Amino acid sequence: MTSACGCEPSAPMAREEEHTPWWRDRAILLPVTSGVSLLVGLILEWFVPNAGMIALVLFWASLLLGASQFVPGALKGLFTRGKLGIGLLMTISATGAVLLGFIEEAAALAFLYSIAEALEDKAMDKARSGLRSLLALIPSTATILVRGSTRTVPVEDLAPGDVLRLAAGDRLATDGIIRSGHSSLDVSAITGESIPVEVGPGDAVLAGSINTTGALEVEATAGGTDNSLTTVVALVEQAQSEKGQRARIADRLARPLVPGVLILAIFVAVIGSLFGDPGVWIERALVVLVAASPCALAISVPVTVVSAIGAASKFGVVIKSGAAFERLGGIRHLALDKTGTLTRNQPTVAEVLTIDGISRADVLGWAAALEDHSTHPLAAAITAAAPQAPTAQQVDETAGQGITGVIDGTQIKVGSPRWLSPGPLVGQVETLESQGMTVVIVYRDDHPVGAVGVRDELRPETPEVIQSLTDEGFGITMLTGDNRRTADALAHEAGITDVRSELRPEDKAQAVADLAGRGPVAMIGDGINDAPALATADIGIAMGAKGSDAAIESADVAFTGDDLRLIPRALHHARRGRTIINQNIVLSLAIIIVLLPLAITGVLGLAAVVLVHEVAEVIVIANGLRAARTATTARPVAAGTLSTSELTHAGPHV
């Protein structure tokens, strides 16, 4: 059994792992049997005359059963690694008690210590149960189409390009794109979105989604073992192998404490024996060994961190390490990328200008008819705004300027204000540009008839989130490679006063470093050009839905959704976890400080110290498990999650 006091990470989560009831779990059954033997022995000794020998046998059985859970590991650690662990303190204490004839006390110590270890392991298992449940969202098999017929294959055999048949009620085995069919998907278990999402051909769908209505055919964009859910699980598993800063502090306190306690016990035994009864002072030295055991200190932080990280993963926040979790709780300043973080990273038509006698629909339709033949990044936004656009002929595009064509016998031009003069619309065009829009001018027969303003709009929740964070005292800075005019306009709408624009990737990293000089800072971004800044910050947070591989790898925290309201929720959760960690450290040290003088002066005997110490340890574990609770009033996470297929094709964002 893993020593809870050593806090060694458990084995990686396996898909086949199943819950084992306690009555079939050897790690629980042996300590429980030890306790039953101890209890029966005490009852016989107290209430049954002439049952002393039977009681003694039961005490020995209790001692051996309990000791089997920690003595082998303690001795192995001592002889193979020279490790003076807490289990060694307990081994020495139990051995000394036996040599002094305190079989009952030795049995009680062995039972209480072994049951505490078992409870710690179960606490860790409970904390990780939410993480294991992520894997349960992936079905074990999938139905694929092969040359017109269907067959069922293990999910591990799925590869990109396979076409999956998804009937109503089925759960999707991997990420993909819908090729045929319309339906609604329940994605609540993945992204927290409470309302089913309507999907049709061309829509990207995520592993773990449940098809609620019609049949779908989905082309896999990721393998069965390398998709959005397995990516999340892999990141969560990584969190279990790295301890937080405070966990390392606890370890640093525990490591010198163990040899220190051994020296103190020897000092008590030797000095006391010089001035009093050696038997009394040797017994007190053994009690000191137990009283000063830092087991509660060593386990208190890891239990809290694992509980909190597991809880965060349930509401869409994947924290890569315990160290990241603890740093997240101390953040006071946030640096946010603009495109794809504060904005949707999906340019849309925001405004259409016209001259007298020309309708908005005409201007938008003419522009869309030509842009349908263009490869310009803004073309998709304009064509999406006018799906019933007329047909254009003789289309000719001039790179960097615009595009011309003939619609119903009339020549139409669409281009930049630097190529086509806005004419009477010049004042309105300048206003749109001051609001951060990119404007294209529309000409009909060589005369300006309108203009279309396109902008990457703010996410609807952005102003609310910025206001909330500002009210709570967080500093907010926007970092972007965009031009100053666009950056200032969007920052004003968002409520951000500290704006740094026209930044290259290295400039963003330097800006974060400058902010970090004032206190702990978190960088939130999603693009390749955000990666240096994410790595530079005390905490890098990647927006998961559209983020690039570089951003995800450089970040300490990843959002599986793209709703900015995850930011305050994650900060509150980490701050609460940090408070619980501080409570556990103080409580663990207080236990040692209080018990030591009571043990040295003989106020508490061996059995009493063992009982008080282990009960206090259980209290510390229970307190740490409180970190698994999350606020139920937070708003749902928007749809979107880490998709390896999306990440592979994600380009750099400004």
* 105-153 residue pLDDT tens: 888 878 877 876 776 566 555 545 544 555 566 788 999 999 889 999 9
324-371 pLDDT, tens digit each: 888 899 999 999 988 778 888 778 898 999 998 899 999 999 999 998
| Whole-number pLDDT of residue 390 | 92
Are residues 37 and 58 in contact, defined by beta-carbon separation less than 8 angstroms? yes
pLDDT tens profile 525-572: 876 667 788 888 889 898 864 455 555 666 788 887 778 899 999 999
- Band the pLDDT of 400: cuts 50, 70, 90: low
**Mean pLDDT, rounded, for 522-527:** 84
Average pLDDT over residues 143-168: 92
Confidence of residue 56 (pLDDT cuts 50, 70, 90): very high
pLDDT confidence tier of residue 494, bands split at 50, 70 and 90: very high
pLDDT of residue 341: 84
**337 in catalytic set:** yes
More confident residue, 238 or 386: 386
Burial of 314 (0-12, 13-18, 19+ CB in 10 A): middle
| pTM > 0.85: yes or no | no
Q: What is the pLDDT of residue 20?
A: 60
**Dist. CA 56–CA 103, nearest whole Å:** 8
Q: Above 80 in pLDDT, residue 237?
A: no
Catalytic residue, candidates 337, 362, 530, 563:
337
623, 585 Cβ separation under 8 angstroms: no
Mean confidence (pLDDT) of the chain = 80
The arithmetic mean of pLDDT across residues 497-512, rounded, is 87
Question: Which DSSP string corresponds to 235-278?
Answer: HHHHHTTS--HHHHHHHHHHHHHHHHHHHHHHHHHHHHHHHS-H
Return the SS3 of 45. Answer: helix
Reading phi first (left if > 0) and then psi (alpha if -120 to 50, else beta), residue 210 is in beta
CA atoms within 13 A on the CB side of 219: 10
Overall average pLDDT of the 487-503 stretch: 90
What's the pLDDT score for residue 549? 56
**How far, in Å, CA of 230 to CA of 633, rounded?**
28
- Cβ neighbours, 10 Å, residue 445: 9
The pLDDT score that the predictor gives to residue 15 is 39
Residue 499's pLDDT is: 93
Residue 382: the pLDDT is 92
> For residue 649, is pLDDT > 60?
no
Listed in sequence order, the residues at least 6 apart from 47 whose beta carbon sits closer than 8 Å to its beta carbon are none
Least confident of 104-108, 235-239, 461-465, 597-601: 235-239
Q: Would you say residue 187 has pLDDT above 80?
A: no
Higher pLDDT, 652 or 153: 153
pLDDT over 90 (residue 381): no
In this predicted model, which residue has the larger pLDDT, 6 or 605? 605
Q: What are the tens digits of pLDDT across the range 247-288?
A: 556 556 667 877 888 899 899 999 999 989 998 898 888 888
Q: Is the pLDDT of residue 510 over 80?
A: yes
pLDDT for 189: 62
- Helix, strand or coil, per DSSP, at residue 60: helix
- pLDDT, tens digit, 9 for 90 and up, residues 1-47: 344 343 333 333 333 444 566 567 777 889 999 999 999 999 999 99
The amino acid occupying position 422 is P
pLDDT, residue 375, reads 65
Cα separation, 186 vs 179, in Å, equals 18
Choice among 11-25, 281-295, 397-411, 491-505 with the minimum mean pLDDT: 11-25
Q: In percent, how much of the chain has pLDDT > 70?
A: 80
Of all residues in the chain, what percent carry a pLDDT higher than 90?
33
Task: Give the model confidence (pLDDT) of 85-96 as tens digits.
Answer: 677 877 887 887
User: Are 420 and 404 in contact, with CB atoms under 8 Å apart?
Assistant: no
CA dihedral for 586, 588, 591, 596, sign (positive or negative): negative
Q: Kindly indicate the confidence band of residue 654, based on its pLDDT and cuts at 50, 70 and 90.
A: very low
* Residue pair 524/567 in contact by the 8 Å Cβ criterion: yes
Helix (H, G, I), strand (E, B) or coil at 55: helix
Q: What is residue 640's predicted lDDT score, i.e. its pLDDT?
A: 36
Judging by DSSP bridges, how do beta strands 402-407 and 410-415 pair with one another? antiparallel
Asked which of 112-116, 226-230, 461-465, 641-645 is least confident by mean pLDDT, the reply is 641-645
3-state secondary structure of 544: coil
